[in-house]
Structure 1
């Protein structure tokens, strides 16, 4: 996306718009998260708290956001969905560490078949897994999608409604 400026000299100048960007404050891209984010059941030893996520430069026309957390290393490479959250108001640009789902947002179904965040729990001794924390800027109203979508149903529902998406990778092992 670019912005074209007409200059008084009669020339035009094209300025690139800043890209939609996602970060997890306190954890660099590819950085390791602590056990507060790990699942709190099945001897995973964690606090089951969602990571902090922040985004900027949402494109014009954004009406809502969605967040997913996917472990492509889980289930022996098949992958595991840890978090699907959508209907996040366009007025938001961050969610703090361990925060509850924002008012009005909708929790999709995670790997356990339940809504909400479910923290990492890679097998003991595995190489630390990669967790792709992705934010989608959508042209959909916050209440456009039904509750309890799993990751595949969510992706199908937002096809042709994603204005931009960006991700950061978090790592965790035990």
Structure 2
């Protein structure tokens, strides 16, 4: 069985809203739009039964980063999410570090410098992860750790200059 790095070579994630390495557009900034971006993916490996999405800021001054979006149980025949949704039937959004389910846009502290926002789609080996809207990003991540066949990511940055 190939290692995860080998299986991710053909699994790709793109967005019509930004490219890997870009600055996030205002639509994905909490105070300016707070809208989830368009995401599309292709090349998921054989055995994929569903997809999940996470958006994580590893630069947040929390000691553990900041979860901006967690989504699981996206049906395997869905390979694109439009900006602002809607999510497909059966998908479940988890609680972000803002305290509620749904997408939470970029909002780094003023003067803290640029933050990275890692948008990841996971190819999952089960139809359904046992997660709820009340579950944290950490719980989504824990479940994904045991069920990920491959992942594809793009990263954008944003800085709040105050």
Q: Is TM-score (shorter-chain normalized) higher than 0.5?
A: yes
Q: Which consecutive residues of structure 1, in runs of 5 or more, have no partner in the other structure?
A: 3-15, 40-44
Tell me if 1:119 matches 2:102.
Answer: no
TM-score, reference length from structure 1? 0.80
- Shift of residue 54, structure 1, vs aligned partner: 1.1
- Shift of residue 112, structure 1, vs aligned partner: 1.6
- Structure 1 Cα separation of the partners of residues 28 and 34 of structure 2: 5
More strand by share: 1
Q: Which has the higher contact order (CA 8 A, sep 6+)?
A: 2
Tell me if 1:31 matches 2:22.
Answer: yes
Two-structure CA RMSD over aligned residues (Å): 2.1
Tell me if 1:61 matches 2:52.
Answer: no
The 3 A distance-change label for structure 1 pair 160 and 19 is same
- Structure 1 Cα separation of the partners of residues 83 and 74 of structure 2: 16
Q: 1:147 is matched with which residue?
A: 132
Q: 83, 87, 112: which one pairs with 2:73?
A: 87
- Shift of residue 75, structure 1, vs aligned partner: 2.0
The 3 A distance-change label for structure 1 pair 18 and 79 is closer
**Contact 1:87–1:145 under 8 Å retained in 2:** no
- Shift of residue 137, structure 1, vs aligned partner: 0.3
- Shift of residue 76, structure 1, vs aligned partner: 5.3
State which structure, 1 or 2, has the greater radius of gyration over its C-alpha atoms: 1
Q: 1:10 is matched with which residue?
A: none
Q: 2:37 is matched with which residue?
A: 51
Residue-pair matches, total: 155
